[in-house]
Amino acid sequence: MDKAANKVKSTISVCLGLILSLMLVSPAFSQTQEEDDDYTRVRGRLVIQLSGVVLEAGTQIPLMGVHVYSPRYGRGTTTNVNGFFSDVFLEGDSILVSAVGFKRQWILLTAEEGDKLTLAIELEEDTTVLSGVDISPYPTERQLRETILAMSDPNVQQQLALARSMTPERMALLIAQTPMDASSNYRNYFDQQFYNQYNSGVRGIPLLNPFAWNELIKSIKRGDFKKN
Q: In terms of pTM, does the model score above 0.75? A: no
- Domain assignment present for residue 46? The answer is yes
54: number of Cβ within 10 Å: 26
- Domain assignment present for residue 6? The answer is no
Question: Which structural domain, as residue segments, surrounds residue 162?
Answer: 141-177
List the one residue out of 57, 68, 65, 58 whose CA is nearest residue 117.
Answer: 68
- Return the CA Rg of the chain: 57
Q: Are residues 154 and 78 in the same domain?
A: no
Choose the weakest-confidence range: 6-10, 68-72, 170-174.
Answer: 6-10
Cα–chain-centroid distance for residue 132? 22
What is the chain's mean pLDDT, rounded?
Answer: 76
Phi, psi of 182 (to 5 degrees): -65, -45
Q: Are residues 162 and 106 in the same domain?
A: no
Q: Are residues 153 and 94 in the same domain?
A: no
pLDDT at 82 over 60: yes
pLDDT recorded at residue 26: 47
Q: Are residues 46 and 94 in the same domain?
A: yes
Q: How many domains does the chain have?
A: 2
pLDDT digits (tens, 9 = 90+) for 136-153: 677 777 777 777 766 666
Q: Are residues 95 and 53 in the same domain?
A: yes
What letter would DSSP give residue 164? H
Q: Are residues 44 and 86 in the same domain?
A: yes
Question: In 57-204, where do the E strands start and end?
Answer: 67-70, 75-78, 84-90, 94-98, 105-108, 116-123
pLDDT digits (tens, 9 = 90+) for 55-71: 999 899 999 999 999 99
pLDDT at 111 over 50: yes
C-alpha count within 13 angstroms, C-beta hemisphere, residue 202 = 6
d(CA 16, CA 10): 10
pLDDT recorded at residue 96: 95
Q: For residue 65, what is the domain's CATH number?
A: 2.60.40.1120
